[in-house]
C-alpha cells in the first residue's frame, strides 16, 4: 500500500484568535493501520505558535524534527529543537514544542498506545 502526501488528510488547527497555527497531515491514513498507533503525522507549526504542554497517559509520543527550529519542553526542561533531533515522551510524562524561528517547524509525531 502507498499514498502520495497530496492524497492524505490534512487538518488545520487554529489558535485562540482563530488564525491558522498548524497543519497536521495524517500519515497513517490506511484502512489496515495498526490500532496501537494512535497518531503518525507530519506536523507543521507556524512561527510563534506552539503545541501546548500536555501529558500522555497510557501512551508514548515521539517527535522527529525535520526542519525549522524551536524550544522543546521535556517535563519542564527546555532545550533547542533542531533538525535531526528525536524526542520521546513516555506514559505519565508531558511535553510541548514552540516554533521560535521564521519558518515552519516541521516534525513527524508518533503516538503508540501502551
pLDDT in tens, 66-86: 999 999 999 999 999 999 999
- DSSP code for 62: E
What local confidence, expressed as pLDDT, does residue 9 receive? 92
- 23 Rama sector, left if φ>0, alpha if ψ -120 to 50, beta otherwise: beta
Provide, rounded to the nearest whole percent, the portion of the chain with pLDDT above 70. 100
> What is the pLDDT of the chain when averaged over all its residues?
95
Query: What is the C-alpha separation between 8 and 28, in angstroms, rounded?
Result: 8
Query: What is the C-alpha separation between 6 and 46, in angstroms, rounded?
Result: 20
Query: What is the C-alpha separation between 111 and 103, in angstroms, rounded?
Result: 25
Per-residue pLDDT band at 30 (split at 50, 70, 90): confident
Q: How many CB atoms lie within 10 A of CB 40?
A: 19
Read off the C-alpha cell for 71. 524550544
Provide, rounded to the nearest whole percent, the portion of the chain with pLDDT above 90. 87
Residue ranges of domains in the chain:
47-113
What local confidence, expressed as pLDDT, does residue 45 receive? 98
CATH number belonging to domain 47-113: 2.60.120.10
Q: Among 9, 10, 3, 24, which Cα is nearest to 104's?
A: 24
Amino acid at each position: 500500500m502507498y499514498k502520495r502526501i497530496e492524497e492524505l488528510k490534512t487538518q488545520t488547527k487554529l489558535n485562540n484568535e482563530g488564525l491558522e497555527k498548524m497543519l497536521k497531515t495524517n500519515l497513517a491514513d490506511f484502512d489496515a493501520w495498526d490500532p496501537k498507533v494512535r497518531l503518525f503525522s507530519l506536523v507543521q507549526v507556524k512561527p510563534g505558535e506552539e503545541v501546548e504542554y500536555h501529558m500522555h497517559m497510557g501512551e508514548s509520543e515521539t517527535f522527529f524534527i525535520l526542519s525549522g527550529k524551536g524550544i522543546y519542553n521535556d517535563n519542564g526542561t527546555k532545550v533547542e529543537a533542531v533538525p535531526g533531533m528525536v524526542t520521546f515522551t513516555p506514559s505519565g510524562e508531558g511535553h510541548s514544542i514552540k516554533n521560535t524561528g521564521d519558518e515552519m517547524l516541521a516534525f513527524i509525531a508518533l503516538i503508540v498506545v501502551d
